[in-house]
Amino acid sequence: MKAIQISMPGGPEVLETIELPIPEPGYNEVLIRADSIGVGKPDVLMRTGVYRWSPPLPAILGNEMSGYIEKIGPGVKKLAVGQPVLVFGTGGGRYAEYNSVSTSLVTPLPDNINLEDAVSIPNYIIAWAMLFEAARGINPNIAYVNGASGGMGTAIIDICKSQGIDIIGGTSSDKKCEFISEFGATHTINYAREDVVKRVLDFTDGKGVELVFDHLIGGRFTDTLDMLMPLGMIISFNALSGMPDEELFSAMRKRAAKSLAVRCFSWHCYDDNLQKRKEIIEAVVEQFAQGGLNPPLYKRLALTDARLAHEILDRREVRGKIILKP
């Protein structure tokens, strides 16, 4: 089988197509024939050697794939050959034509879910958990999404739209602003040339937003506090543009009268709460099955074009989800 491997950290050029034997499923494992493989920012972090949950090198990248069960290992119950499934878990291994994985990483899918759409489900799971768990009690009417045009940003927009929440989306170009506006963002901001805080306050008649989703952070992150309403919250779920210049707690104390909150979110908070993780995944899969969520596809590429996929990610051109097809 073909797989995409890295032997050292670096740019897209370190991605190599290799041939491997098709694995045999072990105890409580299933062999899955890939239909679609998701490409996202965690893969870039893994490739560049800064991902906390990277496997040892040499390694096969990728955290998410959809496909069909090809073979069942000993001890497996409630799964069947030919069943459509989603595989979602950190640690890589998905950039391959076949995967032998623990059943703990496998979610059965209804037949009416398109398998290309299904590889976006992990983004929606994170979005769902942030909105309904991490931001519990906020109940926003309007939120700001920083970096809104990629697979994660569009998942947040889609989840919020489904709940009647207005979205202000921030992106790095006018083309991306146009894209997220068409996708459902109520307002858009090109943060490459506009004053984001001022524009958010303009859109909200000076009131600000109740909730901010940010996976970029960057030097001026603490300015984001000024776009929040009293008792508002920022959920930080990555830091792709680095850490803030100003010490965060000092910045929050300066604005103590607004009683603001910043929460760092990771899906790994459910590593020891498998029941809650299962409930969230099932809730999102049900929404997909009902047709209530519609992830935008940006590029469909061959598995062997994984380098091109990473070049697109590095150039920050993405508007929606990139998938690889074996």
Q: Which two tokens stand for residue 315?
A: 């150039």
Q: Do the domain assignments include residue 215? A: yes
> Is the per-residue pLDDT at 240 higher than 70?
no
Closest CA to 212 of 135, 270, 284, 128: 135
Mean pLDDT of the chain: 93
* Confidence bin at 197 (pLDDT 50/70/90): very high
Q: What is the tens place of the pLDDT at every residue in 150-181? A: 999 999 999 999 999 999 999 999 999 999 99
97-117: per-residue pLDDT in tens? 999 999 999 999 999 999 999
Q: Looking at the domain assignment, is residue 279 inside a domain?
A: no
- Tally the domains of the chain: 2
- pLDDT > 70? residue 218: no
Q: Own/partner pairs for 160-167, CB < 8 Å, 24+ apart? A: 160/127, 160/131, 162/287, 162/292, 162/293, 163/131, 165/140, 165/141, 166/141, 166/142, 167/142, 167/143
Is residue 281, in this structure, part of any structural domain at all?
A: no
Alpha carbon distance 189, 173 (integer Å): 9
The per-residue pLDDT for 106 is 95
pTM for the model: 0.92
Greatest Cα-to-Cα distance within the chain, rounded to the nearest angstrom: 62
pLDDT at position 247 over 90? no
User: Which of 62-66, 89-93, 125-129, 157-161 shows the lowest mean pLDDT across its residues?
Assistant: 89-93
Same domain, 227 and 300: no
> Residue 277 falls within a domain, yes or no?
no
Q: Are residue 320 and residue 243 in the same domain, yes or no?
A: no
Cβ-contact 293, 160 below 8 angstroms: no
Residue 314 maps to a domain = yes
pLDDT of residue 43: 93
Domain that holds residue 232: 122-268
- Write the pLDDT tens digit of every residue in 248-293: 888 888 899 999 999 999 999 998 998 999 899 999 999 999 998 9
Q: How far is CA 272 from CA 94, 125, 250, in A?
A: 23, 17, 33
Q: Would you say 299 and 312 are in contact if contact means Cβ atoms under 8 Å apart? A: yes
CATH of the domain at 238: 3.40.50.720
**Where residue 52 falls among pLDDT bands split at 50, 70, 90?**
confident
